[in-house]
Amino acid sequence: MEKQRSFHWAWVILGVCFFNLFINYSIRLGYGVILPEMIQDLGLSRTAGGSIYNAYLLCYICVAPFTGYVTDRLGARRVITLCVFILGCGVLLMGTTHRLWTACLFFALVGLGATGMWTPVITVVQRWFSPRKRGLALGIMSPGYGLGFATIGLVFPSIVHHFSWRYAWYFLGTGALIMVLANALLLRSDPEKAGYRPWGDKAVSTVYGHTATATGRVPISAVLKAPAFWFIGLSYFCVAYGLYAITTFMVDYAKTQVGMPMDRASLLATVHGLSQVVGVLTILPLSDYLGRKKTILLSNAVITACLAGILFTRSHPGLLFALVAVLAVFYGVTFPIYGACAGDYFPKTVMGTVIGAWTPCYGLGAILSHWVTGFLRDVTGVYDHAFAVGVIMALASVVLVAFLRKDTVLDPPSP
């Protein structure tokens, strides 16, 4: 029976998950902030610095599908608590490293822990909120990753001034270990087992003839046979490619090809970060009314248009800033909105599995984009060809989602 209380535990879940993202992305994105001091002190090259981060990514995309599957079987509380403990230990060890191989090993350990900081987090939030309220919930939670990045950028210079780059890892690791206690005490994997209904709804849904109840199981084979799984996953791959083709290289593009001074070119990153927060606070809640498919179509179409516009703005720096700002609004929306599709198109008993299975689509899209974009830039001396490929991939992401039909997806039930 649902507990009759004025305060719903879903908001505690949302708060804990917000801070999980805050800590995780302070670490994940903060690596780029700590990197210059770290490699200078250790005498490493930038290629070595990239190898350290690749160790993280490789571990992350290989393990994430299994983390999602285990989340559906053991519950998000156990998985997140264990993973944030691994994350904290790996980050603390990063502060002790003196060699490249140990840095790669320790950051790979961080990547292992980070697998519990997205798929299980977004899964448990979707389980505690109704389909018509998930966009709102994800919109409230998602600024955690942008604010985490902003915070480490602000406090890191002070840490280096008073201590050293190693203490940045120590502080972040300590924050992660504090979250171990918060997750263990406050998280609940399933609202029904905790005596609640998802906030705002009370629905039971089906997919391909299989009923999704609090205890029912849907065969993985049924998920893999679903056209929606592949259309959404491939679209996720394509849009990730398109986005990373510009966001990773936009400062270098503005400096070397557009001709901006470095201090002005670097402002693109600030504009990008602030605009992301705007997107998750507005577009994600709007998706509750438009529907996830229409929102992705709108978002990816705008992303495609912005990427195409950037390709032709070499002599218009002001327009470049405007296009990056609009692009970033929808960039911030992309990852949670694709994750929300798992809750809308598949039963809750396999949400973690589905989100985890889609994670390599995003990761491989980003990795391939970095390699191809860098290669084409080195070969041609300009970013034009690389950005053109990004536009084509982003457009493909729109087409793939457009192929989703009502008879091939799980329609979200009415509240």
- Cβ atoms of 88 and 60 closer than 8 Å: no
Q: What is the per-residue pLDDT for 184?
A: 92
DSSP 301-369: HHHHHHHHHHTT-TT-HHHHHHHHHHHHHHHHHHHHHHHHHHHHHS-GGGHHHHHHHHHHHHHHHHHHH
Asked if pLDDT for residue 257 goes beyond 80, the answer is yes
Predicted local distance difference test score (pLDDT) of residue 209: 39
Q: Tell me the three state secondary structure of residue 194.
A: coil
List Cβ neighbours of 330 (8 Å cut-off, separation of 6 or more): 279, 283, 299, 300, 302, 303, 306
Q: What is the spatial distance between Cα 320 and Cα 379, in angstroms, rounded to a whole number?
A: 24
pLDDT for residue 415: 36
Contact 122, 138 (CB under 8 A): yes
Q: Return the pLDDT at 383.
A: 87
| Cα 302 from chain centroid (whole Å) | 19
Range list of β-strands (E), 186-323: 205-207, 210-212
Matching residue, tokens 């606070």: 281
Phi, psi of 209 (to 5 degrees): 85, 0
Residue 204 confidence class, pLDDT cut points 50, 70, 90: very low
Whether the model pTM is above 0.75: no
Tell me the C-alpha distance between 252 and 264, whole Å: 11
pLDDT tier at 146, thresholds 50, 70, 90: low
Average pLDDT of the chain?
81
- pLDDT at residue 219 tops 80: no
Q: Are 401 and 296 in contact (CB under 8 A)?
A: yes
- Residue 313, token pair as written in the block: 């703005």
- Give me the domains of the chain, ranges plus CATH numbers: 10-186 (1.20.1250.20), 205-408 (1.20.1250.20)
Q: Give tens-digit pLDDT for 354-401.
A: 888 888 888 888 878 877 888 888 888 888 998 999 999 999 999 999
